[in-house]
């Protein structure tokens, strides 16, 4: 199964980012392909290198980056949503890249399923 994933919520204000991460991790572990994880709306904050949670809290940005190191997962941040929120090339975390909505459309066309996390 080939999946396209859309994350619409930030890393600490909604369960969506954690749920998306767990879904992607388990899908990859089961041998499925994740074509792209597209971060949209407030989801772009999942790719900020300035996220600095307390030491006893989970570090969602590092989790995503680590997943991209282990598997061929494209972590794509929407350029328009990112710019509206101050997320630019200079502030993205390792493993992420900035791209346009065309990449989201392409993933949805190529995927067997598109799964959206967050409103």
pTM as predicted: 0.93
pLDDT of the residue at 64: 95
Would you kindly state where each structural domain of the chain is located, as residue ranges? 13-97
Angstrom distance (rounded) from CA 91 to CA 3: 27
What is the residue-wise DSSP string for 35-97?
EEEEE-GGGGGGGBTT----TTS--HHHHHHHHHHHS---EEEEHHHHHHTT--GGGBPTTEE
27-86 confidence digits (pLDDT tens): 999 999 999 999 999 999 999 999 877 887 788 989 999 999 999 899 999 999 999 999
- Catalytic residue from among 78, 79, 93, 111: 78
Structure confidence at residue 119 as a pLDDT band (50, 70, 90): confident
Q: Is 78 an active-site residue?
A: yes
- Does 13-97 carry CATH code 3.40.1260.10? yes
Choose among 77, 68, 70: nearest CA to 11: 77
Classify residue 71 as exposed, middle or buried by CB count within 10 Å of its CB (0-12, 13-18, 19+): middle
């Amino acid at each position: 199964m080939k999946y396209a994933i859309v994350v619409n919520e930030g890393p600490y204000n909604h369960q969506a980012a954690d749920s998306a991460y767990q879904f992607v991790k388990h899908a990859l572990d089961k041998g499925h392909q994740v074509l792209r994880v597209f971060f949209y709306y407030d989801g772009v904050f999942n790719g900020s290198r300035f996220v600095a949670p307390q030491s006893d809290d989970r570090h969602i940005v590092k989790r995503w980056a680590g997943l991209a190191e282990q598997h061929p997962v494209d972590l794509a941040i929407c350029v328009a949503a990112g710019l509206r929120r101050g997320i630019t090339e200079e502030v993205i975390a390792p493993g992420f890249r900035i791209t346009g909505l065309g990449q989201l459309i392409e993933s949805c066309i190529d995927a067997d399923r598109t799964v959206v996390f967050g409103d």
